[in-house]
C-alpha cells in the first residue's frame, strides 16, 4: 500500500517555507494530504485560491483535488495536459 504524506496549512498560509516542505514530502510520497486548519480559512473560494497557488508554485507535474477542507496533491511522472 502506498504511503500518503500529511501536512497542515495554518494561519501563515502558503509561504515559501511551506512549499519547500511540501516538495520534500514528494521525495518519499506520491500523494500529500494537506489539512486546512480553521485559522487559515473556512471560505471555499479562498480554499480554491490556496490550492491554485500551491499548484502554481509546485509546477506542471502536480494536480490537486479539494475534499471538504483537505487538499490532496498528487505528483505525476509526466506533465499534466491542460
> Along the 82 residues of the chain, how does pLDDT read in single tens digits?
468 999 999 999 999 999 999 999 998 899 999 999 999 998 999 999 999 999 999 988 999 999 999 999 999 876 666 6
The number of domains in the chain is 1
Judge whether 80 lies within some domain: no
Judge whether 46 lies within some domain: yes
Give the number of other CB atoms < 10 A from CB of residue 62: 19
Range of the domain at 12: 4-75
- Please give the Cα distance from 23 to 21 (Å, whole number): 5
Q: What is the pTM of this model?
A: 0.89
Terminal C-alpha separation, the chain: 29
CATH number for the domain that contains residue 36: 3.30.110.60
Judge whether 37 lies within some domain: yes
Amino acid at each position: 500500500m502506498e504511503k500518503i504524506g500529511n501536512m497542515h496549512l495554518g494561519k501563515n498560509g502558503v509561504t515559501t517555507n511551506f512549499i519547500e516542505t511540501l516538495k520534500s514530502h514528494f521525495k518519499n510520497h506520491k500523494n500529500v494530504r494537506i489539512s486546512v486548519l480553521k485559522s487559515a480559512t473556512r471560505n471555499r473560494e479562498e480554499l480554491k485560491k490556496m490550492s491554485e497557488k500551491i499548484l502554481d508554485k509546485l509546477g506542471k507535474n502536480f494536480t490537486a483535488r479539494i475534499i471538504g477542507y483537505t487538499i490532496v496533491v498528487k505528483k505525476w511522472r509526466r506533465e499534466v495536459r491542460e
